[in-house]
Amino acid sequence: MKKFSFALDKVLSYKRQYEESVRSEHAAILHKVNQQEEKIARLWEEDAKTRREMDEVKQTGCTILQIRTYESYLDFLQKEIANETRILNLLKKREEEKREELIKAKTDTKSIDKLKEKKLEEYRYEAAKEQEQLIEEFVNHELSVAR
User: Would the pLDDT of 4 be above 90?
Assistant: no
User: What whole-number percentage of the chain has pLDDT above 90?
Assistant: 75
- Contact between residue 112 and residue 11 where contact means Cβ atoms under 8 Å apart: yes
Per-residue model confidence (pLDDT) at position 147: 66
The answer to whether 85 touches 36, Cβ cutoff 8 Å, is no
What are the pLDDT digits (tens) for 28-62? 999 999 999 999 999 999 999 999 999 999 999 88
pLDDT in tens, 70-87: 999 999 999 999 999 999
| pTM (2 d.p.) | 0.75
